[in-house]
Amino acid sequence: MTQLSPRHANANLADYTTWRVGGPAEWLAEPTTIAETMAWVEWAQHKGVPCQVIGAGSNLLIHDDGLPGLCLCLRKLQDHSIDAQSGVVEALAGEPIPSLARRAARAGLHGLEWAVGIPGTVGGAAVMNAGAQGGCTADSLISVRVMPKQGGQSFDLHCDELDFAYRHSRLQADNFVVLSARFQLEPGHDPKELSRITKENLNHRTTTQPYQQPSCGSVFRNPEPQKAGKLIENLGLKGTRVGGAEVSTMHANFIVNIGHAQANDINALIHLVQDRVEAEHGLRLHPEVKRLGFAATA
């Protein structure tokens, strides 16, 4: 059984999220192998404590009071393989999706160019069906290897078993820990052209979105065919603040930490934006961001 060390107790979760907010984890583990990951899940089950999985922390809002039980941070669970002939790409859950996209492009594999600006992991992308630039995870995912949070053997779930929809998968029910993923990309493309496209995609995101400030990326799902950012901007909410949280003046679907924000500031600003959009347009924006430690809310 994996042994805990003092550094795993009362870890500051603000250091593990891109918003730079959140209270302490009762216990924190950062496994580097699948075997370690499975051992930690079994440890939590044996101790009878909750197990919460986090990746790059780029789509999370963690309560200021922190989280009880074990936080299993998979951002160090990294490794990958790329078969340039078949187009099959495999990666562990903590592999950063942007670097995987760049490597695939250099191998002449088409299908992940959209992911170069997504500040998350392969596991998080599968859970959220992350997407951008007209592409998404479901387009090329073959399967994910998961293990139940209750412990037990790992097994594969294929793409057609994951109930993929816009920014949704059955993995969000939170009963599984994603260990790895397999993708089928399209081989035989010009690596220089694919690399050019990935650079253009990244440049578009970094010049139109506030990547120099702590954020979680897009806060709200787009209520298609409308865009959440446009609805928020048209209400004059850019620059609106609660404490140290602000609706970005660059892109209205981003909430940024302008300094010393608390998770409660951000959560209050999310509700403020939802209420204003609903009052004006009669629709409730649904957050993409996953809120941990807060009362269940829309």
| Residues that are catalytic | 167, 218, 288
- Residue 237 burial by CB count (10 A; 0-12/13-18/19+): exposed, middle or buried? middle
How many C-alpha atoms does 153 have within 13 Å on its Cβ side?
2
For residue 198, give the nearest of 119, 117, 129 by alpha carbon: 117
Residue count of the chain, please give it. Answer: 298
Rounded Cα distance, 108 and 193, in Å = 9
Rounded Cα distance, 14 and 1, in Å = 28
**DSSP per-residue string spanning 279-291:** HHHS----BSSEE
Rounded Cα distance, 221 and 237, in Å = 17
In this structure, are residues 71 and 28 in contact, taking their beta carbons and an 8 Å threshold?
Answer: yes
Query: Which residues on neighbouring strands pair with residue 247, listed in sequence order?
Result: 255
Query: Is residue 135 helix, strand or coil?
Result: strand
For the chain, give me the number of helices (H) and strands (E)? 6, 16
Rounded Cα distance, 19 and 214, in Å = 5
Helix, strand, coil percentages in the chain from 3-state DSSP, rounded to 5: 35, 25, 40
